[in-house]
Amino acid sequence: MTQSYKMVTARDVAELADVSVSTVGRALADDPRISAKTISRVKEVASRLGYVGNLPARQMRGAKSNLIGLMLPDIRNYFYATIAEALSDCCSANGYQLALSIANDPETEARHVTELISARAAGIVIVPTAQPKRETRDLLNNFPHVQLLRRVDTYNSAWFGINDEESLCEGTKHLLNLGHRRIAYVGGSLELSTGNARRAGFRRAFAESGIEPDEAIEIFGPPSSAQFGANAVTELLNRPNPPTALITGTIRVTQAILEILHQMKISVPEDLSVVGFGDAPEFKWWGSGLTTLRMPIEDLATTCGLWFLHHIASERPTNQQHSSVATATLVVRGSTAPLSH
């Protein structure tokens, strides 16, 4: 037997609380013209009936939305999950609610941006795709938003990111200082600002160390694709002259590579030194511990959230060229060792 549910209305609350419908709306909005006793009674009845107010109607009367959209390309790894949790905590502590959206291609991104704006969200925090559609750009440039991690120059907004170039340079120099020269870098797409910056860091390490990158290997692909990471490391290890060291540029690729190395029974660091990206909890327990680039993602997300919410609450413009760069650190564990001849 199918059970049907009746939508509870403001009129239902009004009848049970013995007040007018207009008083229900004012009481739930804590209007100072309504007595504390009436407010308490209306809220108790509304809660008992399971009444949810009409947000669009309240907004038409001038009420502000407390909804913040967060648009991520992926939620399957520790990196983006931590960002979502930190921003959710930040929003909750400041009277806002986070709405999560997953968009990893321009079509989905455009649709979700349109839907969030149509729902009258207060603003959007976005990790943008590499080549957004024109309508996405036009919508966002007339709406409160902030870019996180990745940066698209055609968006007129603030950006909060990581020192991608510096971090990859430091990780690569660590391997060079251990005597490695045949180093493979497996990174994200060069269409992304992060992909370009991390490749620049990899190459800069050789230049600043005065070492020709003759034996360096670079492989690029979708940053959120575990299959890409698995295929890349398998191809590298099956070469006649495989690399002696490897550094990655995304956390999903790192996770995939570690799984393949385990399956292939590759001895790390005896056969291959590995520098990962990000510091998921399991990385410290992998083998003798993974040497990795630790990203201050919680601090980054919280800083971004507080700045954005402050600008929204104070009705200050968010379409400004503000930049904030968090510093990643190299955590040295047991997955890297001097080159054995």
Measure CA of the first residue to CA of the last residue in the chain; give whole Å.
75
Q: Residue 226 pLDDT > 60, yes or no?
A: yes
**Residue the block writes with tokens 């502000």:** 64
Question: What mean pLDDT value characterizes the chain?
Answer: 90
Instruction: Report pTM.
Output: 0.81
* pLDDT bracket for residue 4 (50, 70, 90): very low
Q: Residue 192's pLDDT is what?
A: 93
Report d(CA 279, CA 283) in Å as an integer: 6
154 and 168 share one domain:
no
Of the residues 276, 295, 314, the one at which a domain ends: 295
DSSP bridge pairs for 220: 187
Q: Residue 1's pLDDT is what?
A: 43
Q: Residue 109's pLDDT is what?
A: 96
Over the stretch 149-164, which tens digit does the pLDDT of each residue have? 999 998 989 999 999 9
- Once rounded to an integer, what is the mean pLDDT over residues 299-322? 87
Over the stretch 85-113, which tens digit does the pLDDT of each residue have? 999 999 999 999 999 999 999 999 999 99
DSSP bridge pairs for 24: none
Over the stretch 26-84, which tens digit does the pLDDT of each residue have? 888 778 888 989 988 888 888 787 776 655 555 444 455 789 999 999 888 888 999 99
Please report whether residue 339 resides in a domain. no
CATH code for the domain of 312: 3.40.50.2300
pLDDT higher at 298 or 119 = 298
Burial-class residue 182 by CB neighbours within 10 Å (0-12, 13-18, 19+). Answer: middle
Report d(CA 189, CA 143) in Å as an integer: 28
205-210 contacts: CB < 8 A, separation 24 or more? 205/168, 205/169, 205/170, 205/171, 205/172, 205/173, 205/176, 206/172, 206/176, 208/169, 208/173, 209/173, 209/176, 209/177
Let me know: does 194 contact 159? Beta carbons within 8 Å: no
- Once rounded to an integer, what is the mean pLDDT over residues 118-137? 92
% of the chain surpassing 90 pLDDT: 69
- Once rounded to an integer, what is the mean pLDDT over residues 228-241? 94
173 and 189 share one domain:
yes
308 and 288 share one domain:
no
Let me know: does 230 contact 257? Beta carbons within 8 Å: yes
18 and 100 share one domain:
no
CATH code for the domain of 35: 1.10.260
Nearest to 264 by CA among 239, 233, 285, 226: 233
233 and 304 share one domain:
no
Q: Residue 23 pLDDT > 90, yes or no?
A: no
Please report whether residue 340 resides in a domain. no
* pLDDT bracket for residue 244 (50, 70, 90): very high
CA geometry: angle at 255 spanning 147 and 239, to 5°? 115
Locate the DSSP E strands across 136-216.
145-148, 159-162, 183-188
Domain count within the chain: 3
Q: Residue 185 pLDDT > 80, yes or no?
A: yes
3-state secondary structure of 70: strand
Torsion of CA 90, 94, 95, 101, to 10 degrees: -30
Please report whether residue 81 resides in a domain. yes
Let me know: does 108 contact 269? Beta carbons within 8 Å: no
157 and 216 share one domain:
no
Please report whether residue 341 resides in a domain. no
3-state secondary structure of 63: coil
Q: Residue 64's pLDDT is what?
A: 58
Nearest to 274 by CA among 191, 194, 198, 172: 172
Q: Residue 310 pLDDT > 70, yes or no?
A: yes
Q: Residue 2's pLDDT is what?
A: 45
Report d(CA 102, CA 90) in Å as an integer: 20
Over the stretch 47-59, which tens digit does the pLDDT of each residue have? 787 776 655 555 4
- Domain containing 218: what range? 164-295
Reply yes or no: is the peptide bond before residue 269 cis, omega within 30 of 0.
Answer: yes
Report d(CA 309, CA 72) in Å as an integer: 18
Report d(CA 292, CA 297) in Å as an integer: 14
